[in-house]
């Protein structure tokens, strides 16, 4: 007997309607019931005296009813005042039946469980679970912690407890096969799967929360390792399926990349050359490339992308570059147009804000194949866009692009059953733990070297109350030292309109404060031509202080600028701050960055800005950011779903990842059947991991 072969309909208490509801939780087989794991536990083993209750913490109390009655306020509420020897508590019910009300007679003893809140200074529990106690000297306490399962509409805790009860009764080593290779079980001295599951579903009596949540506990370790492995297998399987498709084979370049290199005022770094070679090798194969290029801010990723594009264009194909925002797209378009026009190549630009006529013109250039290089936003992949001969898609992703978006791209622009190659570039480094999990479907290249001559940036963290001094510093840097400064205005509000207004106000203020300097303004609401004009003046040194919104986060490159002030820096993510700060320190001289913040700064806020002060290494910053904010936040909303593990925690369990990666590869090759079963066991019902 194998628990995976039995359907939930064959369990007591499960009718057709429940089957459908369980399916929503990914529960179809008896095995699924077991892998729907508790995400926390409740302690009903003890009674807490009312005087020791803490707001926000769930607890169990043993109380005697003093009186109860209905209050008719904004909301009809049944309030039951009850007490123990140490104090009084209000039990509040918004939904209740006459029978429930009648149970709460004066003098009745109740065992109640629920989260405590303070309402008008009195401890209260809203909708406690209550149980009448006949003999208060012997309350029916539970002898073990109670599991709490993820629920959905129509599937509540009691049902899940009943189901797990039935399946656990049939759980033996021969009803749930061990799928992990014996070697890894031995290496890590892993606990048998059956007992690990038994332990987390029904913790033994006397086991406390500390033991249950202990990351080192053998049961948790066992499950975490298996879950990480299942996830890794799913990602690697997606990759294997993807790279089995046909793609146009792109021979190594003969001319165009060399011509671009000759036109540059500098040499490519060794790291850039290495990564360009990685890509060239991938392209020269009849299957699609799926590669991630990482590199710190300023490491020269754009140029690497351009070199890859030229190899493809030389063979007569088209290349599309997709940026996450219009501003970034525009920046890339400027760069590529500069570089490629000298090679006689046409670039097209496609974003949603184009005027109808412009759009038609661009679409035509894309369809006819006249445009070899096409740059834009997501607008590039709307249905109305038809590429003549697309062979490479470059995604400049900024952590906003998930595995499914990546895979969906293969539908776009493929010809004669052949799919385009994919190159993913990240704006800032991604912590290794995340590349090993969320990006496990990609091959990775790292540009681990900055162009020569970059100087480390000194960073200061100051409260906004020191603004006057900061202004004096800007003045000094620009007048005495002949430097230039960025003054970056950020707002919590994402709206460009408000950002622009704030920047405008700051520019006026700074103009007044520094009458001898030339202050100018650039923001996302300006016309591209006006923006361009200001940037050009700043580039040529005609402007001393450039007040900007986070527009300049992207690609602005003015080596003479050596000071940056960032307002409200506590509101930005570390990756964004790092990206912004990377705009200075490009010339040969000492550079500074001042991070202004509004007091008071939260504890996390302090930690974050301290990291920015302490290091300019993007990889270190990314690791710390992950530690503080967690994977969901770092990856952005679209990816969050990916990282919802049941047991594993990629921070805590990161030491396991290299091994997990190895074992996954070996398993897919040697025991593909086990690999399939592991994926099914842990990721059942998660569409995103299904076959592509």
Strands 443-447 and 290-295: parallel
DSSP letter string, 400-420? ---HHHHHHGGGSS-BTTBPP
Distance from C-alpha of 20 to C-alpha of 4, rounded to nearest angstrom: 18
CA distances for 337 relative to 215, 267, 443, 551, angstroms: 53, 20, 29, 20
Distance from C-alpha of 70 to C-alpha of 76, rounded to nearest angstrom: 7
| 301 in contact with ligand ADP (CB under 6 A) | yes
Q: Which of 266, 285, 286, 672 binds ligand ADP (CB under 6 A)?
A: 266
Closer by beta carbon to ligand ADP, 321 or else 519: 321
- CB under 6 A: which stretch of 18-26, 294-302, 321-329, 570-578 binds ligand ADP? 294-302
Q: Which of 130, 164, 236, 269 binds ligand ADP (CB under 6 A)?
A: 269
Asked if 288 and 421 count as a contact pair (C-beta separation under 8 A), the reply is yes
- Report which residue's Cβ sits closest to ligand ADP: 300
Closer by beta carbon to ligand ADP, 483 or else 582: 582
Distance from C-alpha of 581 to C-alpha of 565, rounded to nearest angstrom: 9
In the complex, minimum distance from the CB of residue 29 to ligand ADP, in angstroms, rounded to a whole number? 48
Please state, as a whole number, how many other Cβ atoms lie within 10 Å of the Cβ of residue 153.
7
| 10 in contact with ligand ADP (CB under 6 A) | no
Per CB under 6 A, contacts with ligand ADP among 536-565 are 555, 557
| 591 in contact with ligand ADP (CB under 6 A) | no
CB within 8 Å of 109: residues ≥ 6 apart = 62, 63, 64, 65, 132, 133, 134, 136, 139
Closest to 667 measured CA to CA, from 37, 249, 290, 179: 179
Q: Which of 80, 238, 297, 546 binds ligand ADP (CB under 6 A)?
A: 297
Q: Which of 18, 130, 299, 549 binds ligand ADP (CB under 6 A)?
A: 299
In the complex, minimum distance from the CB of residue 659 to ligand ADP, in angstroms, rounded to a whole number? 32
In the stretch 445-464, what mask flags binding to ligand ADP with x, by CB under 6 A?
A: ------x-------------
Closest to 598 measured CA to CA, from 566, 563, 551: 566
In the complex, minimum distance from the CB of residue 391 to ligand ADP, in angstroms, rounded to a whole number? 22
In the complex, minimum distance from the CB of residue 636 to ligand ADP, in angstroms, rounded to a whole number? 19
| 324 in contact with ligand ADP (CB under 6 A) | no
The H or E element spanning position 313 is helix 301-314
In the complex, minimum distance from the CB of residue 321 to ligand ADP, in angstroms, rounded to a whole number? 12
155 pairs with which residues across the strands? 152
In the complex, minimum distance from the CB of residue 451 to ligand ADP, in angstroms, rounded to a whole number? 3
What is the C-alpha R_g of the chain? Answer: 31
In the complex, minimum distance from the CB of residue 559 to ligand ADP, in angstroms, rounded to a whole number? 8
Planar angle of CA 573, 575, 576, nearest 5 degrees: 65
In the complex, minimum distance from the CB of residue 595 to ligand ADP, in angstroms, rounded to a whole number? 20
In the complex, minimum distance from the CB of residue 652 to ligand ADP, in angstroms, rounded to a whole number? 31
| 303 in contact with ligand ADP (CB under 6 A) | yes
CB-hemisphere CA count at 13 Å for 657?
18
**Angle between helices 467-479 and 496-513 in degrees, nearest 10:** 70
Closer by beta carbon to ligand ADP, 341 or else 368: 341
Closer by beta carbon to ligand ADP, 338 or else 361: 338
Distance from C-alpha of 419 to C-alpha of 411, rounded to nearest angstrom: 7
Closer by beta carbon to ligand ADP, 37 or else 303: 303
| 298 in contact with ligand ADP (CB under 6 A) | yes
Q: DSSP letter at 10? A: G
| 263 in contact with ligand ADP (CB under 6 A) | no
- CB under 6 A: which stretch of 217-225, 297-305, 353-361, 362-370 binds ligand ADP? 297-305
Structure tokens at 2: 């194998």
Closer by beta carbon to ligand ADP, 264 or else 505: 264
Closer by beta carbon to ligand ADP, 39 or else 266: 266
Name the residues that contact ligand ADP, by CB under 6 A: 266-269, 272, 295, 297-303, 451, 555, 557
């Amino acid at each position: 007997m194998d628990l995976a072969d039995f359907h939930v309909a064959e369990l007591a208490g499960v009718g057709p309607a429940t089957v459908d509801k369980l399916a929503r939780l990914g529960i179809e087989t008896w095995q699924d019931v077991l892998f729907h794991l508790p995400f926390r536990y409740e302690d009903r083993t003890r009674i807490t005296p009312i005087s020791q209750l803490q707001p926000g913490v769930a607890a169990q109390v043993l109380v005697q009813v003093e009186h109860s009655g209905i209050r008719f306020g904004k909301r009809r509420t049944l309030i039951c005042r009850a007490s123990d020897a140490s104090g009084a508590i209000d039990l509040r019910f918004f939904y209740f039946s006459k029978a429930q009300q009648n149970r709460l007679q004066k003098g009745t003893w109740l065992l109640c469980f629920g989260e405590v809140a303070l309402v008008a200074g009195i401890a209260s529990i809203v909708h406690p679970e209550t149980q009448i106690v006949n003999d208060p000297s012997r309350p029916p306490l539970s002898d073990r912690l109670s599991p709490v399962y993820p629920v959905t509409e129509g599937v509540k805790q009691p049902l899940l407890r009943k189901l797990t009860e039935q399946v656990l009764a049939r759980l033996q080593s021969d009803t749930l096969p061990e799928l992990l290779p014996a070697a890894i079980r031995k290496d890590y001295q892993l606990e048998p799967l059956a007992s690990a599951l038994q332990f987390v579903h029904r913790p033994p009596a006397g086991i406390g929360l500390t033991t249950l949540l202990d990351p080192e506990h053998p049961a948790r370790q066992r499950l975490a390792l298996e879950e990480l492995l299942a996830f890794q297998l799913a990602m690697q399987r997606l990759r294997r399926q993807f790279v089995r498709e046909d793609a146009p084979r792109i021979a190594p370049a003969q001319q165009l990349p060399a011509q671009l290199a000759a036109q540059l005022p500098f040499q490519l770094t060794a790291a850039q050359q290495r990564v360009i070679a990685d890509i060239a090798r991938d392209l020269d194969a009849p299957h699609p490339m799926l590669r991630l290029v990482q590199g710190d801010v300023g490491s020269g990723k754009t140029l690497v992308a351009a070199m890859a594009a030229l190899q493809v264009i030389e063979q007569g194909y088209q290349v599309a570059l997709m940026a996450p925002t219009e501003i970034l797209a525009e920046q890339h378009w400027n760069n590529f147009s500069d570089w490629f026009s000298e090679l006689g190549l046409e670039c097209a630009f496609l974003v949603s804000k184009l005027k109808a006529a412009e759009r038609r013109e661009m679409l035509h250039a894309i369809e006819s194949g006249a445009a070899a290089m096409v740059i834009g936003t997501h607008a590039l992949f709307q249905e109305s866009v038809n590429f003549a001969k697309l062979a490479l898609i470059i995604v400049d992703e900024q952590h906003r692009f998930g595995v499914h978006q990546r895979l969906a791209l293969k539908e776009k622009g493929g010809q004669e059953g052949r799919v385009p190659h994919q190159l993913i570039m990240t704006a800032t480094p991604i912590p290794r733990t995340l590349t090993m999990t969320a990006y496990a479907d990609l091959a990775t290249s790292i540009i681990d070297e900055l162009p020569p001559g970059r100087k480390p940036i000194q960073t200061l963290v100051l409260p906004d109350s020191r603004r006057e001094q900061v202004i004096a510093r800007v003045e000094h840097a620009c007048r005495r030292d002949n430097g230039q400064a960025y003054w970056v205005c950020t707002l919590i509000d994402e709206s460009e309109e408000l950002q622009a207004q704030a920047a405008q106000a700051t520019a006026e203020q700074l103009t007044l404060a520094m009458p001898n300097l030339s202050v100018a303004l650039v923001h996302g609401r300006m016309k591209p031509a006006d923006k361009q004009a200001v940037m050009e003046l700043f580039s040529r040194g005609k402007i001393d202080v450039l007040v900007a919104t986070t527009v300049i986060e992207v690609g602005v490159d003015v080596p003479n600028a050596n000071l940056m002030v960032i307002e409200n820096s506590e509101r930005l993510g570390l990756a964004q701050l790092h990206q912004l700060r990377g705009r200075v320190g490009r010339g040969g001289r000492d550079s500074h960055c001042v991070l202004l913040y509004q007091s008071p700064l939260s504890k996390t806020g302090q930690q974050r800005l301290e990291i920015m002060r302490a290091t300019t290494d993007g990889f270190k910053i990314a690791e710390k950011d992950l530690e503080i904010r967690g994977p969901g936040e770092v990856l952005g909303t679209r990816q969050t779903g990916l990282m919802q593990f049941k047991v594993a925690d990629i921070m805590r369990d990161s030491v396991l990842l290299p091994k997990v990666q190895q074992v996954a590869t070996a398993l897919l090759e040697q025991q593909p059947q086990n690999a399939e079963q592991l994926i099914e066991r842990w990721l059942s019902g998660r569409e995103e991991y299904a076959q592509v």
